[in-house]
Structure 1
Amino acid sequence: MKLPRFFGRSRASKALAAYQRELVDTHYREVENMYRQMRIWRHDYRNHIQTLKVLAANGDIAAIRSYLDGLDAELKELDTPIKSGNAMADAILNSKVSLAKAHGIDARVDARIPIKLRISELDLCCVLGNLFDNAIEANEALPESERMIRVYMDMKGPQLYISFTNAAPAGKRRKKGGLFPTTKKGEGHGFGLVHIDRIVEDAGGYLSRNSESGAFTTEILLPQA
């Protein structure tokens, strides 16, 4: 797999480096926000216990039940249901699922990463974060009832198989210059796809993109270390 000619390595290296820094900063802020919420809840844990003790001492069962229902709702928001076996991947996937749901997208992830990969965890998070961001953006043009993202990750032989499928506007997309065109505007647009390609290529992996009417799928194979 080769990069398109108009993205020569010497021409794009500085722009890609700047894009990667911005991407990492964005992902870091998203993950840090999730953990900040978890730390706040843990900090308040003793206060919750003390409140429940007072309610119990007063025999106010109805108030205890109401308080516990409120805590249960908070815990569900903070829960991290994706547990792939890779902590950094879990952090970015859980963060992006929350972001997708905030955009009214039905996002579901089935992920298992039982091996150490040839690429760094940072590069893996960049790949997953980029794929999720592109999938979220594609869904925003659709009615909320049609929005969806499906992610599947598991072993296929000795390699990790990654599949991202998202709903997309009707009509098959066409490649230009070897890449599917991005809908993003402004400086740096399109670098996400190039960055994914470069990471997979440098790792000796495989990448395929497929556009069908109403759906877009990216499939990746990454070798283990």
Structure 2
Amino acid sequence: MNIIGNGLLEFINRIFGFISPIFAMFVVEWFLPIRRKGWAKPLLYIGCWFFTGMVIFIGDPVNLPGTLLGFGAVLFLCCEGTWLQRLSITLILSSLGLSSSALVDSNYYLFDIGYLFRFTIWLLVFLALKRFAPKQEYHLPPSLWGLVDVLTLTPFAATLITVLLGDPYGRGNEMQDIILLPLVTLSSIGLLWAVVILARQHKLEQEKSFYQLNLLRYENLEQEQFQVRRLRHDMANHLQTMSSLPDQELREYLGQLLHSPAMGSSYRYSDNSIINAVWGAKQPLMEQMGIETEISVTVPAKLSIDGVDLCAVFANSLDNAIEACERLPVGQRTIKVKARADKGMFVLQVQNPLLEPPKKRNGRFATGKTDLAAHGFGLASIEEIARRYDGSVSITTEDGQFTLFLYLALLE
């Protein structure tokens, strides 16, 4: 009976040994985007299985370095993100996994339930972070990742010192090991939580920056339209003034009027004044660059989308298309725009040809401008607006065409 009980316990332990890597993979995916390769996820599981299942004895100088190097190599190979980002997450997860493994494997009372203990640790980490884990597109500047690395050094060094320089005959029962290793595990979980908080704060700052940029664009557009309406309203006064001017002054006055925004063509492609205003502001530039345009818009005058957001979506989409057309020969420059608001959804599609597939930087399509500090926010701003309206943005680059497709949920 005792043999059967021990065999059953060993079988259950092994089952948990195959499940623990799955939760470890989920945690990795929350902080590092996985490469879109067929081998990436299977290799990541193998790496997590090796990492969560390796026996780590205090005083053993072999298993910990090998596990650390193997796990780090798998993360760097299977995951995307900046070098600092991958290094930070590798150090934090290594401190967490290795300290908890050393605690259970070096403790006589816990050794028999080692896999169950590991499973419990990773399950608790998974549950603690599931609701608040950052989206895969989260980004932190290098300075913040550097700060995370510095904070990680303490628990990481404590794990290395405890395991590599510890007494192999104490078997983890010494008081300092029993206290220190759980503290390292908790500190590592706290560092993961710190990354979550930093990512959320950075996202809020980005959203604030996007909103301020979009608000400025909207205010400038409104001011321009106000000047146009005022000039047209005053046209009768202008005509009366011109009738009494001498020839030379009359020609100068006419020249000033002809170069004013009010004398440009009036574009009306839908009932929505914001879309008309954005298109009207971009149309002269597109004509100047020799860009052929096709536009089909069925959007009512009033939408449940904030005017600033609607302006930003249209303007940024057109700006990206114009930027792409600028790199094409004149005869190949075309922009096609379709927009529709119906059945509780606002849908926008902007399409333009590509000279070559756009490059990505940190998982995002990068701007072609040389001044990266002043450009490259268009798609990020559109994605941020889509999230706020429970919508989505998809981008395809097929058959030499760049297609941006966006939908936003409308309030009934």
- State the TM-score, normalizing by the size of structure 2: 0.43
CA–CA distance in 2 between the matches of 1:156 and 1:174?
34
Trace 1:59-138 onto structure 2 (pairs within 5 A): 77-82=264-269, 84-114=270-300, 117-138=303-324
Note the C-alpha offset of 1:135.
1.1
Of 93-102 and 118-127, deviating more is: 93-102
Checking the alignment, whether the CA contact within 8 Å between 1:38 and 1:78 is kept in structure 2 is no
* Counterpart position of 1:223: 409
CA–CA distance in 1 between the matches of 2:275 and 2:359?
31
Note the C-alpha offset of 1:165.
0.8
Structure 1, residues 136-180: CA drift from partner, whole Å, max 9, x if none? 1111111222111111111454312111112321x3335454422
CA–CA distance in 2 between the matches of 1:26 and 1:42?
24
Note the C-alpha offset of 1:91.
1.6
Letter of the structure 2 residue corresponding to residue 18 of structure 1: S
Checking the alignment, whether the CA contact within 8 Å between 1:117 and 1:223 is kept in structure 2 is no
CA–CA distance in 1 between the matches of 2:303 and 2:324?
29
* Counterpart position of 1:55: none
* Counterpart position of 2:349: 163
Unaligned runs of 5+ in 1: 53-70
| Cα 1:218/1:3, change in 2 over 3 Å | farther
CA–CA distance in 2 between the matches of 1:36 and 1:140?
30
Of 136-145 and 98-107, deviating more is: 98-107
Note the C-alpha offset of 1:3.
5.7
CA–CA distance in 2 between the matches of 1:156 and 1:218?
19
| Cα 1:115/1:51, change in 2 over 3 Å | closer
CA–CA distance in 1 between the matches of 2:348 and 2:238?
43
Of 340, 343, 358, the match for 1:173? 358
Structure 1, residues 61-85: CA drift from partner, whole Å, max 9, x if none? xxxxxxxxxx9xx988331232x22
| Cα 1:3/1:34, change in 2 over 3 Å | farther
| Cα 1:199/1:26, change in 2 over 3 Å | closer
Query: Which one has more relative contact order, counting CA pairs under 8 Å at least 6 apart?
Result: 1
| Cα 1:213/1:174, change in 2 over 3 Å | farther
Give me the identity figure in percent.
26
CA–CA distance in 2 between the matches of 1:137 and 1:103?
11
What secondary structure sits across from 2:205 in the alignment? helix
- State the TM-score, normalizing by the size of structure 1: 0.74
Structure 1, residues 72-107: CA drift from partner, whole Å, max 9, x if none? xx988331232x222223222222223322333223
Is residue 138 of structure 2 the alignment partner of residue 5 of structure 1?
A: yes
- Determine which structure has the larger helix proportion and give its number: 2
Note the C-alpha offset of 1:196.
0.9
Note the C-alpha offset of 1:210.
0.9
* Counterpart position of 1:20: 211
Of 213-222 and 133-142, deviating more is: 213-222
Structure 1, residues 185-212: CA drift from partner, whole Å, max 9, x if none? 2325332211111111121112211113
Checking the alignment, whether the CA contact within 8 Å between 2:357 and 2:397 is kept in structure 1 is yes
CA–CA distance in 2 between the matches of 1:40 and 1:98?
19
**Which has the larger Rg?**
2
